[in-house]
Amino acid sequence: MKVLYFAWVRERIGTDCEEVSPPAAVGDVGSLVAWLRNRSEGHAEALSDLARVRVAVNQEAVGPDHPVASGDEIAFFPPMTGG
């Protein structure tokens, strides 16, 4: 699956996009976040507090229980500040 990062999440992780292949047990957003935290110190820090980070699966805002599957586009970013 493709994982995208935006704004300060992107800066802390150090990349805007990565292809990842988590184990089959990673079936929802919450377990994906737990798995991503182990990839680097930047991941651990950026994704440490899920209250500060929003998630989209296939370009739609979702909660931590939302399923994820290979082929999905998952994005992590701070609360929006446009307009």
Partner 1 sequence: MIRLQREDFDPGIELASLGEGNPVIGGICTFVGLVRDCSAAGPVTAMTLEHYPGMTEKELARIEAEARARWPIEDVLIIHRHGRLLPGERIVLVATASAHRQAAFDACQFLIDWLKTRAPFWKREEGPAGARWVEARAEDDDAAARWREDDRKE
Residue 7 binds partner 1 (CB under 8 A): yes
Residue 81 binds partner 1 (CB under 8 A): yes
- In the numeric block, the tokens 């184990």 are attached to 23
Residue 60 binds partner 1 (CB under 8 A): yes
23 vs 71 by CB, closer to partner 1 = 71
CA atoms within 13 A on the CB side of 73: 8
23 vs 79 by CB, closer to partner 1 = 79
Helix locations, the chain, DSSP H: 7-13, 29-36, 41-46
Binding test (CB under 8 A) with partner 1, winner from 20, 53, 56, 62: 56
β-bridge mates for residue 62, sequence order: 55
Residue 38 binds partner 1 (CB under 8 A): no
